[in-house]
């Protein structure tokens, strides 16, 4: 018979987890890996004291790690893809011509809406960030725009598509969990997404970009790019192939492989680099140019499989902890007890969002932050007459969009590694990710808006 965890013991475990992570990461400013590992070990020890067998704990950890396999493969291939796109001249070409057309004062808004368009067509924030996102970060460096501001704009636009595109996996997953149709879900999200996007646009219009623009340094960087690479429209074939595969709904792994293969072909035909040993070295350790311009070198010298190992190890540890939380019943025991005394419909919506955010924080996995609260609250929504579309919207706003704000979250770790900006630094600028949950809660508590979220009787 499987052991059931009591509410009081689940509180002990959750307080232990949150306290250790808060002290280690936010007070001691430690990297998240060892605090998460210590938390995982401590949680397993407490569960052992509470009567769980080692076999059960081991099984829970393995199940958690199994969910990490796909993110790890994606991260690994994207690290290789970035290096190949540097070697093939794809990103340098975009940088060279992008400097002619991007006005620094409107850079953030341009980055926001270009990434929105790409993410809507691809349905993937990972693809968007690793393609146009990397290019925009390079343009930001050459035009003097703050990298934290640039990263915030890129991530806001990329996550817009992750939330609203019919091609996105989470956009399909949330309504499936709630039991409604895809387009009912998307239509209902407009009520929180549009206001959040408007405020985000105003924020980036007003945000300071750069006090001065050194045109001579930009010309020097363009000369360095022109000397270091063959800049040609053919270098854009690979990112266009990736976008086309995404629009065709090809799975992410084959899509990335297509990007790598076409990038290597461009490297051979455009850059005239056909040495296989050089290809392997670049894909393993990243691209290393001979360019002497420090700014350009800092932009193009990146990527490679090894560049993603920081994020890969973080995801493995975080999802080991997530496996214990899910498969040993800690999350279920905690939230099931909290739901029972709630009387008001608005409180149910608030608790749904809070549960999704908490699962994100404890497990670092956005799919669990949609699945677990969705399973726990679905019957309660039906019993109290709250529309199921409100459940799916709350799960999307507080699950999909909060994960990039978690340093050990799958999305947060990926974005930080790909863009080169830590989560704690880009988070204040990722305003769209903060605003969407706030608008969701506003629809639950502001009387004039409640009918949309809570049904006729509030």
Count of CA atoms in the C-beta half-sphere (13 A) of 440: 32
Residues 6+ apart with CB under 8 A from 424: 407
- What one-character-per-residue DSSP string does 6-51 give? PHHHHHHHHHHHHHHHIIIIIIS---SHHHHHHHHHHHHHHHHHTT
Show which of 303, 332, 359 is a domain's final residue: 303
How many structural domains is the chain composed of? 2
Q: How far apart are CA 314 and CA 452, in angstroms?
A: 39
DSSP 396: I
Q: How far apart are CA 88 and CA 421, in angstroms?
A: 24
- Give the closest residue to 417 by CA, choosing from 313, 294, 344: 313
Residues of 186-197 as b/e, b for ≥16 C-beta within 10 angstroms? bebbebbbebbb
Residue indicated by tokens 């893809």: 81
Question: Are residue 244 and residue 190 in the same domain, yes or no?
Answer: yes
- Give the closest residue to 263 by CA, choosing from 24, 90, 405, 41: 90
Domain-located, residue 369: yes
Question: Are residue 322 and residue 366 in the same domain, yes or no?
Answer: yes
Question: Are residue 444 and residue 347 in the same domain, yes or no?
Answer: yes
Domain-located, residue 399: yes
Residue 334 has a pLDDT of 81
Mean predicted lDDT score pLDDT of the chain:
85
Q: How far apart are CA 104 and CA 249, in angstroms?
A: 34
Q: How far apart are CA 157 and CA 201, in angstroms?
A: 10
Please write the tens of the pLDDT for every residue from 382-416. 888 888 999 999 999 999 899 999 988 889 988 99
- Tell me the three-class secondary structure of 129-166, residue by residue: HHHHHHHHHHHHHHHCCCHHHHHHHHHHHHHHHHHHCC
Question: Are residue 21 and residue 90 in the same domain, yes or no?
Answer: no
Please write the tens of the pLDDT for every residue from 325-345. 888 988 788 877 887 787 888
Residue 48 has a pLDDT of 94
Do the Cβ atoms of 89 and 270 come closer than 8 Å? Answer: yes
Count of CA atoms in the C-beta half-sphere (13 A) of 44: 21
Residue 212 has a pLDDT of 54
Domain-located, residue 2: no
Question: Are residue 63 and residue 76 in the same domain, yes or no?
Answer: no
Q: Coil, helix or strand for 382?
A: helix
Domain-located, residue 236: yes
Show which of 303, 325, 359 is a domain's final residue: 303
- Give the closest residue to 293 by CA, choosing from 231, 232, 229, 225: 225
Question: Are residue 216 and residue 119 in the same domain, yes or no?
Answer: yes
Domain-located, residue 215: yes
User: In this structure, what token pair is assigned to residue 404?
Assistant: 């990039």
Show which of 283, 303, 323 is a domain's final residue: 303
Domain-located, residue 118: yes
Residue indicated by tokens 């990298």: 147
Question: How far is residue 19 from each of residues 14, 22, 39, 179, measured CA to CA in Å?
Answer: 8, 5, 10, 36
Question: Are residue 232 and residue 340 in the same domain, yes or no?
Answer: no
Question: Are residue 39 and residue 187 in the same domain, yes or no?
Answer: no
Residue 169 has a pLDDT of 74
Question: Are residue 125 and residue 274 in the same domain, yes or no?
Answer: yes
Domain-located, residue 1: no
Residue 458 has a pLDDT of 42
Q: Is the dihedral of CA 53, 55, 58, 64 positive or negative?
A: negative
Question: Are residue 204 and residue 265 in the same domain, yes or no?
Answer: yes
User: In this structure, what token pair is assigned to residue 147?
Assistant: 């990298």
For residue 421, what are the domain limits?
7-68+309-454
Domain-located, residue 36: yes
What is the pLDDT tens value at each position of the chain, 458 positions in all?
456 788 899 899 988 988 888 888 777 878 888 988 999 999 999 999 999 999 999 999 999 888 778 878 887 888 898 899 999 998 888 878 877 777 777 889 988 998 888 788 667 788 788 878 888 888 888 777 889 999 999 999 999 988 888 767 778 788 888 888 878 888 899 999 999 999 999 999 998 766 555 566 677 878 888 888 888 899 999 989 988 887 787 887 898 899 999 999 999 999 999 999 999 999 999 999 888 877 778 778 888 999 888 878 877 888 888 889 888 988 788 877 887 787 888 888 999 999 899 888 887 878 778 877 887 788 788 888 888 999 999 999 999 899 999 988 889 988 998 899 999 999 999 999 999 999 999 888 887 766 766 665 44
For the beta carbon of residue 165, count every other beta carbon within 10 angstroms. 23
Question: Are residue 333 and residue 276 in the same domain, yes or no?
Answer: no
Question: Are residue 315 and residue 403 in the same domain, yes or no?
Answer: yes
């Amino acid at each position: 018979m499987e052991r059931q965890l009591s509410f009081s013991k689940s509180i002990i475990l959750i307080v232990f987890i949150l306290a250790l992570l808060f002290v280690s990461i936010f007070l001691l400013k430690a990297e998240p890996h060892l605090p998460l590992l210590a938390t995982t070990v401590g949680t397993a020890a407490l569960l052992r004291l509470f009567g769980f067998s080692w076999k059960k704990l081991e099984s829970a950890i393995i199940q958690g790690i199994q969910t990490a396999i796909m993110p790890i493969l994606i991260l690994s291939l994207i690290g290789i893809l970035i290096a190949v796109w540097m070697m093939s001249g794809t990103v340098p070409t975009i940088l060279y011509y992008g400097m002619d057309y991007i006005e620094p004062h409107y850079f953030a808004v341009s980055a926001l809406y270009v990434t929105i368009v790409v993410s809507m067509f691809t349905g993937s924030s990972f693809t968007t960030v690793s393609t146009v996102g990397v290019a925009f970060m390079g343009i930001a460096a050459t035009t003097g725009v703050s990298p934290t501001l640039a990263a915030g704009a890129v991530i806001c636009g990329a996550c817009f598509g992750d939330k609203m595109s019919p091609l996105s996996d989470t956009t399909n997953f949330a309504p499936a969990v709630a039991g409604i149709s895809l387009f009912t879900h998307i239509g209902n999200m407009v009520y929180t997404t549009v206001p959040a996007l408007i405020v985000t646009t105003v924020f980036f219009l007003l945000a300071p970009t750069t006090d001065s623009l050194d045109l001579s340094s930009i010309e020097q960087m363009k000369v360095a790019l022109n000397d270091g690479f063959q800049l040609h429209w053919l270098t854009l074939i690979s990112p266009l192939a990736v976008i086309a595969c995404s629009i065709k709904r090809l799975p992410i792994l084959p899509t990335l492989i297509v990007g790598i293969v076409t990038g290597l072909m461009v490297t051979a035909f455009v850059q005239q680099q056909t040495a296989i040993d050089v290809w392997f070295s670049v894909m393993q350790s990243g691209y290393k140019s001979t360019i002497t311009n420090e700014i350009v070198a800092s932009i193009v010298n990146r990527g490679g499989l090894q560049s993603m190992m920081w994020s890969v190890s973080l995801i493995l540890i975080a999802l080991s902890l997530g496996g214990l939380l899910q498969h040993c019943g800690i999350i279920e025991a905690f939230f099931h007890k909290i739901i029972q005394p709630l009387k008001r419909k608005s409180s149910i919506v608030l608790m749904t969002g809070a549960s999704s955010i908490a699962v994100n924080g404890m497990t670092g996995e956005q799919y669990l932050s949609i699945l677990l609260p969705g399973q726990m609250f679905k019957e309660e929504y039906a019993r109290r007459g709250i529309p199921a579309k409100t459940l799916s919207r709350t799960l999307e706003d507080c699950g999909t969009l909060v994960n990039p704000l978690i340093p050990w979250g799958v999305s947060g770790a990926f974005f930080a590694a790909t863009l080169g900006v830590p989560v704690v630094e880009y988070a204040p600028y990722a305003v769209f990710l903060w605003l969407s949950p706030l608008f969701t809660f506003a629809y639950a508590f502001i009387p004039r808006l409640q009918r949309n979220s809570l049904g006729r009787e509030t």
